[in-house]
């Protein structure tokens, strides 16, 4: 999966279906567990940002190692 495809998987439009899946089609349970819709939206957006930053850092780290001729061995 490319990073662009990963980003698409966390599209804001997919939040409601994800909550329905986790809370067995009961948005009221999701709200009771996670808080107001605005809070849930902010949490989801924050998670998207975290994943995006982590992916960028990983790519930058990998590129720097390749440029310097270093590769980690498992």
> Where are the domains positioned within the chain?
3-67
Closest by CA to 46, choosing from 17, 19, 15, 2, is 15
Instruction: Give CA 54 to chain center in angstroms.
Output: 10
Q: Are 43 and 34 in contact (CB under 8 A)?
A: yes
H or E segment and range at residue 64: helix 37-68
Q: Is the pLDDT of residue 72 over 80?
A: no
pLDDT tens digits, residue range 5-58?
A: 555 566 788 899 989 999 999 999 999 999 999 999 999 988 888 888 888 888
- Tell me, what's the pLDDT at 37? 93
pTM above 0.75, yes or no: no
Q: Give the model's pLDDT for residue 7.
A: 54
Q: What's the rounded Cα separation, in Å, for the pair 11 and 21?
A: 16
Which residue from 19, 14, 48, 17 is spatially nearest to 35, judged by alpha carbons?
Answer: 19
Q: Looking at residue 13, what is its pLDDT?
A: 87
């Amino acid at each position: 999966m490319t990073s662009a495809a990963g980003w698409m998987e966390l599209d804001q439009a997919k939040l409601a279906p994800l909550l329905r899946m986790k809370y067995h089609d009961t948005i009221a349970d999701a709200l009771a567990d996670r808080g107001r819709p605005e809070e849930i939206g902010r949490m989801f957006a924050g998670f998207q940002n975290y994943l995006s930053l982590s992916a960028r850092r990983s790519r930058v780290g990998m590129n720097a190692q390749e440029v310097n001729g270093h590769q980690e061995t498992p």
